[in-house]
Structure 1
Amino acid sequence: MSRNFFHIHLVSDSTGETLLTVARAVTVQYEGISAIEHIYPLVRTKAQLEKALDDIESAPGIVLYTLVDQDLNEQLEETCRNLGVPFLSVLSPVHSLLQSYLGTAATGRSGAQHVLNAEYFKRIEAMNFTLLHDDGHLPDDIEQADIILLGVSRTSKTPTSIYLANRGLKTANIPLILNVPIPEKILQARRPLIVGLVATPERIVQIRQNRLLSLNADEDTDYVDRDTVAEEISESRRLFARNNWPIIDVTRRSIEETAAAIIEKYRERRMQDVAI
């Protein structure tokens, strides 16, 4: 199927991450159409904006922007109108809603969401902890974790852990190996929320085969044997059931969906602890 392309210009006075996330979340919904992204971060002067406007004139398309400075806003909008290209201030509808509800105006600080506050340092600390505790490393201080993820190989433990760390949660992940007991310290852990990740044997085999292909490794191994993988999954499920650990099937879940389910379980756990 041939694809159609269009230009999308993302103009931001901050990092541009918000615009890029919104743009990709929407454009992916249009099958057969791809966006050619032009990103202009940290646009805070007229000279910087002029560069973006020149590109927009050279390659007309949709313009999405987040600019706090009113003069820059007006210059961008006037140029877009003159060029006949569609434009939208992505955060304006949200600001309008909040302002009408809260009865107060926004402060108008560029990149205010990226200030170095306590939440930022919490995420950095969580990321450092998570990287040091990836794939079963350093289990001795496991009681300091907020969350422990258990699962056989290729159940998305590492990327899910990284995502949770970005949300400020110290996350360790432990691989489960057939007929190999897990560290006793995991069984004794009381503070962390322990979550078991599973998937269908077919999905695990598929991911493992792709992994071996990327490494040019021999595929004649129990690692991708369907019966062996099914036994791994069954044993992991029995382990989770014996210890009453919540289970999440990641077969058809994205990393974001898996992390959201874990965060919800973590919040429920914290609320229970407070109630006690």
Structure 2
Amino acid sequence: MSLKNLYYIYTISDSIGETNGRIARAAANQFDEREYIIKNYPFVLDVKLAEYVVDEAAEHSSIVIFTTVIAEIRKAIIARCKQYGIKYIDVMEPTLAVFESHLNEKSRNEPGATHRLDANYFRRIDAIEFAVKYDDGKDPRGLKKADVVIIGVSRTSKTPLSMYMANNHYKAANVPIVPGVPLPAELYQVDRKKIVGLVTSPQKLSEIRQERLRAMGLGAQANYASLERIIEELEYADGIMKKLGCPVIDVSNKAIEETASVIIEMIKKKNEEEV
């Protein structure tokens, strides 16, 4: 695979996302000399997750394809893509517009209307709602209820990873590690085997944070993205993770799917040991 010709296609859906994948492959396969990677994000029912996905897309040469009937999410994706200058395809909106015009009535805007609402669907929705409620340490009372608690410094993909885990029916909470900000007492009451620390290389994290600052219209040289500060944060986080005695995953060169696969195996192993 030639990195020079490689590009990414990010697909975002409020349901399973099969349509996006088919459209992406059908279009991409019309271009023989270009290699591509499709990254699918199904069941995106939260604006913050949608924005995180586009943030990740901005780190590569990317196209975003999305289907959603949720107006707030649609607006967030479009705004974020415009912010980064990412080309995007809104599959659902023009299609619904034609149907509404022809039928002279408004659509009911119901995500996943073509799929049967079985037990797995409700488990997934329950896990997604859990991940949203207990994202970014908002409510530490949820930490004991989680299947996994993800910790790490800013921009180590805690939120998108939590949502990916939720799409696989696992209840994930995440807590940011910030020097000088006390961690919730509840974190120290969680089984250490349920906690996972995320680390990355200082250089990689600096690049991600610089891109984030540019997207926000701020100077890329701000202290938030400085190597000195990042090294300090990572060293502080390392001390916390050692104190907790939790497993640690280096996400420097890992896709979210790879990191999630490692965590899922950890959860399965823990569950087997408890039987």
TM normalised by structure 2 equals 0.60
- Tell me if the contact between 1:155 and 1:204 (Cα under 8 Å) persists in the aligned partners: yes
Superimposed CA distance per residue, residues 153-175 of structure 1 (whole angstroms, 9 cap, x where no aligned partner): 01000111110000011111111
Task: Give the superposition deviation at 1:30.
Answer: 6.4
1:236-247 to structure 2, matched below 5 A, reads 236-247=237-248
- Equivalent residue number for residue 136 of structure 1: 137
Gaps of 5+ in 1: 4-13, 36-110
Q: What's 2:122 paired with?
A: 121
Aligned residue for 1:40? none
Quote how far apart the aligned CAs of 1:128 are. 0.4
Q: When the two structures are superposed, what TM-score results if normalisation uses the length of structure 1?
A: 0.60
Equivalence map 1:39-188=2 (5 Å):
114-188=115-189
Contact 1:146 1:191 in 2 (8 A): no
Query: Partners in 1 of 2:260 and 2:30 — Cα distance?
Result: 21
- C-alpha spacing 1:33/1:169, structure 2 compared with 1 (3 Å): closer
Report which stretch shifted further, 228-237 or 213-222: 213-222
Contact kept, 8 Å, 1:143 with 1:192, in 2: the verdict is: no
Structure 1 CA distance, aligned partners of 2:258 and 2:242?
Answer: 22
Q: 1:192, CA displacement in angstroms?
A: 7.3
The residue type paired with residue 245 of structure 2 is N
Contact 1:161 1:171 in 2 (8 A): yes
Instruction: Please report how far the alpha carbon of residue 182 of structure 1 lies from its aligned counterpart in structure 2 after TM superposition.
Output: 1.0
Q: Which amino acid aligns with 1:232?
A: E
CA distance in 2, matches of 1:28, 1:166: 31
Structure 1 residues 34, 271: CA separation in 2 closer, same or farther (over 3 Å shift)? closer
Aligned to 1:20: 22
Tell me the residue number matched to 1:260. Answer: 261
Q: CA deviation at 1:229?
A: 0.4
Between the aligned partners of 1:210 and 1:123, the Cα distance in structure 2 is 32
The SS at the match of 2:219 is coil
SS of the aligned residue for 2:149 comes to strand
TM-superposed CA distance for 1:205, in Å, is: 0.5
1:30-45 correspondence runs (5 A): 31-32=33-34
2-structure distance, mates of 1:157, 1:223: 17
Give how far 1:186 is off. Answer: 0.5
Cα 1:185/1:222, change in 2 over 3 Å? same
What is the deviation of 1:29? 11
Please list every run of at least 4 consecutive aligned residues from structure 1 whose deviation after the TM superposition is greater than 6 angstroms.
none
CA contact (8 A) 1:136 1:173 kept: yes
Report what 1:227 is aligned to.
228
* Superposed displacement of residue 183, structure 1: 0.7
Structure 2 gap segments, 5+ residues each? 6-15, 38-111
C-alpha RMSD of matched pairs (Å)? 3.3
Q: Secondary structure at the match of 1:149?
A: strand
Cα separation, 2, equivalents of 1:269 and 1:238: 24
Match for residue 204 of structure 2? 203
CA distance in 1, matches of 2:204, 2:237: 16
Residue by residue, what CA displacement relative to the aligned partner does 1:72-109 show, whole Å, maximum 9, x if unpaired? xxxxxxxxxxxxxxxxxxxxxxxxxxxxxxxxxxxxxx
User: Which residue of 2 is the match for residue 39 of structure 1?
Assistant: none
CA contact (8 A) 1:27 1:34 kept: no
Whole-angstrom CA distance in 2 between matches of 1:27 and 1:233? 41
Q: Hey, what's the Cα distance between the residues in 1 that align with 2:158 and 2:141? A: 19
Partner amino acid, structure 2, of 1:200: S
CA contact (8 A) 1:151 1:157 kept: yes
Partner AA of 1:219 in structure 2: A
SS of the equivalent of 1:252 reads coil
Shift in Å at residue 238 of structure 1?
1.9
Q: Percent identity over the alignment? A: 35
| More divergent stretch after superposition (217-226 vs 260-269) | 217-226
- Tell me whether 195-204 or 232-241 shows the greater mean CA deviation: 232-241
CA deviation after TM superposition for structure 1 residue 131, in Å: 0.6
Q: Tell me whether 238-247 or 122-131 shows the greater mean CA deviation.
A: 238-247
The answer to whether residue 250 in structure 2 is matched with residue 249 in structure 1 is yes
